[in-house]
Structure 1
């Protein structure tokens, strides 16, 4: 199975380096992505739009040789969800790690501060303790670079409601699956899309917000299980 790995804010393909060997060792083809605007800290992000990031994931799906499992992390969940919308017939399952898909018109990153064309990383000291659980600060900060500021102002545009029929796994790291279920039941706006999905699985993975860095073997096992379920 081809597995397209979509990073969240401030990270490139290397953020999946600890996960990839587990997936390839199980016989899968892992495709970790560096989204437009994330090539380096010095990249000019002034012309990078939300659609560019979504199109990069769509291109990776199109380059695959068969059904694809999409894995998104944090803000990458919204990007992955929009790519699913564009290629719903090709995606066998989606794994949302520490985040969720957006509904059309949403701007999930709207509350982040920007600096010109950049959306700078949040300083370590401003993260909640739960977010950085198990995380090595120096190694983490070495991975970071700004994301495009357009993510804070441009809405996601979706149009194929068949996306709600694709099996979706929600991995809950710094919060519990019970918390996410409660937010969905309460009708919280950021998680509105989850209530519309027909085939949802919630999985607890107790750690910080970046389990691809802190619990890669456990996260890989969850991804592999989602593949097994998607192919029946």
Structure 2
């Protein structure tokens, strides 16, 4: 199966390199996506541009792919289900949840000169980054790509309720499946509250398992794809 890999904020397709090399021997075709504005040098990219890039990857996949979204890009994966409900076999969300219709995509940190730069490790102290050593943090921060303001502040638009028919697996890194279920039950994740086929899998990592636990993450994704 084709497995489309979408990194979260500040990441390009190379963030998945170690996951790709672990997925290929497991019989899948991993396709890391470098998003407009996050690797192509365009600071003027918009959320619509990123959605278009994801949909282009879905349209060019062999058969029905599994679409994987990490962190904020969980919303991009969900938008793919919304726009291509009949073409997506499954959605995998790693450490993130889809935004609701009408919400901003990822307006989390201060924008400067038209982009939202990586804010440093302060906001991610604790479980998010506890499994990253100082060298891993340095490498991550030095490679982080400022996200265009037009992406971060883009408004999410969802239109097709068939998205709720697409199976979803939530990969839980810095939080537990029980916590994720509690947030959904509390109404904090209205999109997943309506998902008809929802499951959770745990991974013992921080927020970036593609960095700290790529082989384990690849195995989890391969298992999810096999069930699709």
TM-score of the superposed pair, with normalisation by structure 2: 0.94
Shift of residue 138, structure 1, vs aligned partner: 2.1
Task: Give 1:200's aligned residue.
Answer: 198
For residues 8 and 23 of structure 1, what CA distance do their matches in structure 2 show? 19
* 1:60 CA drift (Å): 0.6
The residue correspondences of 1:35-114 to structure 2 (distance < 5 A) are 35-39=35-39, 43-46=41-44, 48-114=45-111
Q: Secondary structure at the match of 2:24?
A: helix
- Contact 1:69-1:227 within 8 A present in 2 as well: yes
Determine helix, strand or coil for the equivalent of 1:91: coil
Moved more, 177-186 or 7-16: 177-186
Q: 1-side partners of 2:123 and 2:69: how far apart?
A: 23
**2:77 & 2:113 partners in 1: Cα distance?**
25
In the TM superposition, residue 101 of structure 1 has moved relative to its aligned partner by 1.7
User: What CA RMSD, in Å, does the superposition of the two structures yield over aligned residues?
Assistant: 1.3
- The total of aligned residue pairs comes to 225
Q: Deviations over 1:36-94 (max 9, x none)?
A: 00126xx3413x11110011000011111211000000011111111221111111001
In structure 1, runs of 5+ residues without a counterpart are none
Aligned counterparts of 2:42 and 2:49: Cα–Cα separation in 1: 14
Structure 2: segments with no counterpart, 5+ residues: none
* Contact kept in structure 2, 1:107 and 1:151, CA below 8 Å: no
How far apart, CA to CA, are the structure 2 residues paired with 1:44 and 1:105?
A: 25
Which 4+ residue blocks in structure 1 deviate beyond 6 angstroms?
Answer: none
2:105 & 2:60 partners in 1: Cα distance? 28
Task: Give the whole-Å Cα distance in 1 for the aligned partners of 2:163 and 2:180.
Answer: 20
SS of corresponding position for 1:75 = helix
Calculate the TM-score normalised by the size of structure 1. 0.93
